[in-house]
Structures are given as C-alpha cells and as structure tokens.
Amino acid sequence: MTATRLPGPPRSSLLWRVFSANAVVLIVAVALLAVLPVTVSWPVNAWELVVMAVGLVATLTVNLILLRRIFTPLGRLRDTMATIDPLRPGQRVDVGARSVEVAALTAAFNDMLDRLEGERRRSSRRAQAAQEEERRAISLELHDQVGQNLTALLLQLDVALLSAEGKQRKALQTSIMTVRDSLAQVRTIVHRLRPEALEDLGLVGAIGHLCTRVSRDSGLPIERSLDRTVPTLSPDAQLVVYRVTQESLTNVVRHAAAGAATVELVPHRGGVRLTIADDGAGTARLMQEGSGIRGMRERALMVGARLTVRQRVPGGIEISLEVPGDEVRP
C-alpha cells in the first residue's frame, strides 16, 4: 500500500475539511458585511435586495468551489474503481486524497485488489496443476490402454494379412488403414495433452519442437527466433509459456488463414518475452472476444505475466507474453 501514503500537505478528516470550508466562507461573508458600507433597512428596498442576492450567490459559489475541491478525489476513486480490469493485474488507485476518509478508502480498495490478485493467482496455479495432472493421467491411460490395444490389433491384422487372399485381403487392408489412423489420432492427442518435450528438452527446445510439429502437421511455415540465453523460468511459468505458444499456434492454424507465422522468445527485463505473430485475416477485436485469449490471459495471470494482443499492419495478429523476472528460477 505504498501508493496512497503520498508526501504532501497533512491530511484531515472529511468532516473537518467541509466544516472549515463553510466556516471560512461564513467568516469572510460576515467580515465583509462588517467592513463594507452595506446596510439593510426595514422594509428592505430594491437596491439592498439586489446587493443581498449578489452576496448570497457569491457566498454559495465560493462554497461550492471549495466543496468540489474536497470531494473530487472521491469521484476519481469511483471512476478508477469502475475501470479496474480483473484480467490486467497490477493496476492500483492513486487519487491524491487529502482527507483521511478518502485515503483510507483508497488504501482499503488497493489492499483488497492485492488480496484478490494474490488469491486469484494461487487458485489459478492450483487449477493449472490440477488440469495438468488430469491431462497427464488421461494421456497415460490413452497411451497405455487404447494405444497399446490398437498397436496389438495392428500387429495381429498385419500377421493375418500375410496369409490372406482376394476379398479378405482387401478388407484386412482397409481395417489396417483404419487402425493406423486411429493410432495416429491417439498419438496426436497424447502429444497435445502432455508436453513431455518440456521435461526432455527444456523450454527453448520444447517450443522449437512444437513449432516443427505444428508446421509439419499443418503445412504452415513457422519462422523461429528462439534465444538460448533466456533465463530458466519456474516450472509453472515454463508451462504457461509453452501452453500460450501451443494455443496461439492452434488459433493461427485454425482461424487465421495465415501464410506464415513467427515465434520469438527473448530475454526481457530480467524475465522473458514470447511473441507469436501471423499475417492472416484475424482481427484483434475478434481475438479479444475469443475464449482462447481469455484462457491465455488467465494462464498468464497466475505467473504475473502480461499478455497483449495487437493488430498488425497490413494484417494479422501479434500476441505477446511478458513473464516477469520474479518467475526466474534462482
């Protein structure tokens, strides 16, 4: 809560400030009344009425101006509160409050943001861990059960094919094709579910491998510029960078109708910056609304990373993820 304790004039309570403003106005009014040659006769005449009306308007105006100055920070606080975006953490309110109450309110609000962001980060991390564990379990089961059975089936069909003739041979060949396709599908799903390359090759290697695979499967040329000197991130942050790359490339392949894509990973302010760009037809507005971006933002949040989506000129989308230095493994 550093933002609210600003150096400056000493603070006083809101009540006292309103009271002093009013008091100042009244004292000045009375003093003017005493020193100026104005009098009120009875019954009041027209000229005196005009003077009194002018005096009253002047008093009220000065009062209004003073009170407005006092209450402006409250209005600013409300406006800032209204623009806080839960998916862009790190925003804090600083309204230059002079009164104790507004300062306290600002501090309490900032404190609440701290706690909410902290809790959100922790719960996202838990969610990611649970999700990864689930994916690992599913991929293992897929590989060990379905995959192995399909492998066995394929082997048996192949043996049967050796002694088959005529129509039977044709049918067996079709079956073999189907089983091979299914096996390939299972393997693709297993690969997608489990970034085992991350454990094998480290982040840079895994991203390189991912690009190669996506490129091979989709035919999309992907230009890579992966700096090997990037600092080693925490396992959670590595997973975030990997999944954001995976998700972005999947989006490019599925929706962008792009001719090419680039993936860049560089050291950035003690952490790393990942940039994925394409030259396709997607627009930043469309992407903002897509749930894929939301999911990536939520992933980014849990390691305190910033995800930005930008429209490129002449066409295409650029997604960039900045992971801060405090996610670097010591």
Partner 1 sequence: MTHKTIDVLVVDDHPAVRTGLQALINAHEDMRAVGEAWDEFTLPPAIHRCDPDVVLLDYQLPGANGIELCRRTKANVMAPLVIIYSAFVGPAMAVRACIAGADALVDKGVQPSVLATTIQRVADGERVLPEVTSETMTLAGEMLDPDDLPILGMLVNGIPTSDVAETLHLDQPALDERLDRMLVALA
Which chain residues interact with partner 1 by CB under 8 A?
Answer: 143-144, 147-149, 151-156, 158-159, 162-163, 180, 183-184, 187, 190, 196-197, 200-202, 204-205, 208-209, 228
| Cβ distance to partner 1 smaller for residue 143 or 299 | 143
235 prior amide bond cis, ω within 30: no
Give the Cα separation of 112 and 93 in Å (integer): 11
* Minimum distance from residue 7 beta carbon to partner 1 (Å): 50
**Location of structure tokens 């190669």:** 212
Give the nearer residue to partner 1 in terms of CB position, either 58 or 153. Answer: 153
Q: Which of 72, 104, 74, 77 is nearest to 92 (CA)?
A: 77
Nearest approach, Cβ of 160 to partner 1 (angstroms)? 9
- Of 265, 237, 229, which is closest to residue 324 (Cα–Cα)? 237
Shortest gap between Cβ of 222 and partner 1 (angstroms)?
14
Closer by beta carbon to partner 1, 102 or else 204:
204
What is the smallest separation between the CB atom of 169 and partner 1, expressed in angstroms? Answer: 15
Distance separating alpha carbons of residues 271 and 59, to the nearest angstrom = 59
Of 174 and 283, which has the nearer Cβ to partner 1?
174
Contacts 24+ apart (CB under 8 A), 93-96: 93/3, 93/4, 94/3, 94/4, 94/6, 96/6, 96/8
Name residue, tokens 């997607």.
282
- SS3 category, 328: strand
Name the CA radius of gyration of the chain, rounded.
34
Nearest approach in angstroms of CB 235 to partner 1 is: 16
Closer CB to partner 1, residue 104 or residue 154? 154
273 φψ region: left (φ > 0), alpha (ψ -120 to 50), beta (else): beta
Residue 230 Cβ vs partner 1, minimum distance, rounded to whole Å:
12
Nearer to partner 1, 29 or 154 (CB): 154
239 CB-contact burial (10 Å; exposed 0-12 / middle 13-18 / buried 19+): buried
- Asked if 109 and 93 touch (Cβ cutoff 8 Å), the reply is yes
Amino acid letter, residue 226: L
Least separation in angstroms between CB 196 and partner 1: 7
In the bound state with partner 1, the residue whose beta carbon lies nearer, of 119 and 158, is: 158
